[in-house]
């Protein structure tokens, strides 16, 4: 049985507002401003919970530190090899469905039950490309 907690609400709200794919540390630093007593363990616990029930996504990066994403729109990710920021690439509804179907078909080739997908591109972002 899941009990309400102000902390979880605040964490989810923050992740839904932000578009920068924060780490737990980044969330912690930010949330301390509005809730000075919040503990970092609470953030770890709640992002796990929120991932488990599909309200946010966990992003796995080159450096092994997880980022979290509260954006529920159809999109994929791009990680810059230079500045290591994560960028969203938004997908049209049609395109998203097409990709999902293709991946569904691929999962079928190994008789797997397809549930989730994560597409991560990498290279240089617009800014880093110019340097």
Partner DNA sequence: TTATTTTTGATAATGATTATCATTATTATA
Partner DNA sequence: TATAATAATGATAATCATTATCAAAAATAA
Give the interface with a second copy as residue ranges (CB under 8 A). Answer: 58, 60-62, 64, 66, 76, 78, 80-81, 87, 89-91, 99, 102-103, 106-107, 109-126, 129
Distance CA 56, CA 108 (A): 26
Q: Which of a second copy, DNA, none does residue 91 bind (CB under 5 to 8 Å by kind)?
A: a second copy
The smaller minimum CB distance to DNA, of residues 84 and 100, is found at 84
To DNA, the closest distance from the beta carbon of 104 in angstroms equals: 29
The backbone torsions φ and ψ at residue 84, rounded to the nearest 5 degrees and listed phi first, read 60, 20
Which residue, chain included where needed, has tokens 């340097």?
Answer: 131
Distance CA 76, CA 73 (A): 10
The smaller minimum CB distance to a second copy, of residues 5 and 82, is found at 82
To DNA, the closest distance from the beta carbon of 18 in angstroms equals: 16
Q: Which of a second copy, DNA, none does residue 39 bind (CB under 5 to 8 Å by kind)?
A: DNA
User: 10 Å Cβ neighbour count for 89?
Assistant: 11
Q: Which of DNA, a second copy, none does residue 7 bind (CB under 5 to 8 Å by kind)?
A: DNA
Contact assessment for residue 58 and residue 49, using Cβ atoms and an 8 Å cutoff: no
The smaller minimum CB distance to a second copy, of residues 26 and 107, is found at 107
* DSSP characters over 55-77: SSEEE--TTS--EEE---SSEEE
């Amino acid at each position: 049985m899941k009990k309400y907690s102000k902390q979880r609400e605040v964490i989810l709200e923050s992740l839904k507002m932000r578009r920068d794919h924060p780490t737990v540390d980044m969330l912690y630093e930010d949330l301390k401003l509005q809730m000075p007593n919040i503990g970092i363990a609470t953030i770890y616990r709640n992002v796990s919970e929120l991932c488990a029930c599909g309200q946010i996504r966990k992003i796995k990066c080159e450096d092994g530190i997880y980022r979290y994403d509260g954006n529920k729109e159809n999109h994929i990710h791009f990680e810059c090899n230079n500045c290591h920021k994560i960028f969203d690439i938004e997908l049209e509804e049609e395109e998203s469905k097409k990709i999902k179907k293709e991946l569904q078909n691929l999962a079928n080739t190994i008789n797997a039950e397809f549930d989730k997908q994560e597409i991560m591109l990498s290279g240089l972002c617009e800014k880093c490309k110019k340097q």
